[in-house]
Amino acid sequence: MEYLPRPAQVQTQERMLDKPYQLVALRMGAGKTAATLTVVKELGMKTLVVAPKRVAELVWHTEVGKWDHLAGMRVQRVLGGPGQRTEALATPADVYVINRENFTWLVDQLLVWPFKCVVIDENRGFKDRASKAWQALKSVRAEIERLYILTGTPDPNGNLLDLWAQISIMDRGQRLGTGITKYRDRWYLPDKRNGQTVYTWRLKSGARDEIQKAVQDVMVSIDSGVTLPDRIDNVVQVTFDRKRYDEMEATMVTGAVTAANVAVLAGKLGQMANGAVYDSQGLVHHIHDAKLDALEEIVDQGEPVLCFTAYVHDYDRIRARFPQAWKFDGEPSLRAWQAGQIKLLVMHPASGGHGVDGLQVGGNVAVWFGLPYSLDLYEQANARLHRPGQANSVVVHHIVAVGTIDERIVQVLQAKGDMQQALIDAVRNR
């Protein structure tokens, strides 16, 4: 297929070729992968792509096969067991793609770092300076001539704290400081705390504008220029007997289910709002079927449904109610979905939400059976259907248990989304 880049892709390519490192913050479906491969081919450097597992398995080699101008470009997937990965590394290629979980293995394995260009496809796992992935990248940063971080969610928590790790790994502290402590001391004030322990931070007056101005030259965000079909967000409210839920919320104990602290309690309440909860032994306790009933009403409308779940017991109970349900397992279920063979596809957003392309061909209805706190997971998952190639309006149903933590999660996601959009708008190349 002939590659006719959109204006946003052209501008992105120009910025990447002009600068040795960039945080490419384009919305999902804007064509980041094709633009990046075009840049990589022009640079002619041996390149490593680090991506979520499903993306590493499905996306990059497929994208090369789409476009005429990338013909002959060799993509080698470094996946599987240690022996398979070692063999893949020894195979001549232009681009090597490895999943994020095995990136630290790769850094430890190589005595001499051979990749002059590194692409981080989706920043999840590289936004935390304490993560093994970030530390591994830092250890080989001096050997990397070109570093590009691709993301649709550069600031998923809306407070710019995640920005430091992403920018500093590229510019080695030139813009936002050499350490997170210096970064916080300059632009933040302690917010929630317990004695000397600070749990949350808030921006000082004027800090947001200063930070956004500081990163404008190393962070590109461009209006994609793509007109997508409408996205209709619908809240489906459900109610249930909340006796056990209220007891858990008030005392942190209900029957065999206990919570050791507030963080665990939040998770237990989220499970109970979905309809079941694990005890300390891993046994599942049934709470209600209200969300299953709501899902059944949506499925009965006859359209293919992509359903996002939060817990293993969500899928188990959905599968018991809907024997026709498929669990997303990569390429086999993707092809079956596209062929119209699946009416209910169940996916955890962390396993298929990032980068998996093609689901927009086969359906336009999504259901959130259980919502995540992560804006990153939420937006990436929604973009599986609401992206270029979608022919119909996309309907996103949110099944929300009234009077539960579900309602709070909806509010948190909205607030985070507003702050992230402000960052994207601030650095957007108009």
Q: Could you tell me if 348 and 310 are in contact, meaning their C-beta atoms sit under 8 angstroms apart?
A: yes
Give residue 430's pLDDT band: very low, low, confident or very high (50, 70, 90). very low
Burial of 387: CB neighbours in 10 Å, binned 0-12, 13-18, 19+: buried
Which residue ranges form the domains of the chain, and what is each CATH number?
A: 7-225 (3.40.50.10810), 231-243+289-420 (3.40.50.300)
At residue 418, the pLDDT reads 73
Q: Which residues contact 131 (CB under 8 A, 6 or more apart)?
A: 125
At residue 357, the pLDDT reads 75
At residue 192, the pLDDT reads 84
Residue 50 in this model has a pLDDT that exceeds 60: yes
Question: Would you mind telling me the total number of residues written for the chain in this entry?
Answer: 430
At residue 312, the pLDDT reads 94
Q: Could you tell me if 23 and 149 are in contact, meaning their C-beta atoms sit under 8 angstroms apart?
A: yes
CA distances to 326, 348, 382 from 332, in Å: 10, 16, 21
Q: Could you tell me if 75 and 93 are in contact, meaning their C-beta atoms sit under 8 angstroms apart?
A: yes
- How do residues 212-259 score in pLDDT, each as one tens digit? 999 999 998 876 556 778 888 888 999 999 999 999 999 999 989 999
Query: What is the rounded average pLDDT of the residues 377-394?
Result: 87
At residue 426, the pLDDT reads 65
- How do residues 296-318 score in pLDDT, each as one tens digit? 989 988 899 999 999 999 999 99
At residue 377, the pLDDT reads 86
Query: What is the rounded average pLDDT of the residues 146-163?
Result: 87
Query: What is the rounded average pLDDT of the residues 86-105?
Result: 96
Both tokens assigned to 366: 């999504």
Taking the CB of residue 195, how many other CB atoms lie within 10 A of it?
A: 5
Query: What is the rounded average pLDDT of the residues 25-40?
Result: 85
Q: Could you tell me if 183 and 164 are in contact, meaning their C-beta atoms sit under 8 angstroms apart?
A: yes
At residue 195, the pLDDT reads 79
Residue 356 in this model has a pLDDT that exceeds 80: no
- How do residues 252-299 score in pLDDT, each as one tens digit? 999 899 998 888 898 999 999 999 999 989 999 999 999 999 999 899
> What does the alpha-carbon distance between residue 215 and residue 365 come to, in Å, rounded to a whole number?
37
At residue 154, the pLDDT reads 83
Strand partners, 271: none
> What does the alpha-carbon distance between residue 162 and residue 156 come to, in Å, rounded to a whole number?
8
Query: What is the rounded average pLDDT of the residues 384-405?
Result: 90
Q: DSSP letter string over 133-174? A: HHHHHHHHGGG-SEEEEEES-S-TTSSSHHHHHHHHHHHTTT
Residue 79 in this model has a pLDDT that exceeds 70: yes
Residue 405 in this model has a pLDDT that exceeds 70: yes
Query: What is the rounded average pLDDT of the residues 82-105?
Result: 96
**Which of the two residues, 228 and 101, has the higher pLDDT score?**
101
Give residue 124's pLDDT band: very low, low, confident or very high (50, 70, 90). confident
> pLDDT exceeding 70 applies to what percent of the chain?
95
At residue 8, the pLDDT reads 82
Among the listed residues 371, 400, 403, the one whose alpha carbon sits nearest the alpha carbon of residue 243: 403
At residue 391, the pLDDT reads 86
At residue 262, the pLDDT reads 85
Q: Where are the beta strands (DSSP E) in 375-423?
A: 394-401
- How do residues 181-193 score in pLDDT, each as one tens digit? 999 999 999 988 8
At residue 246, the pLDDT reads 94
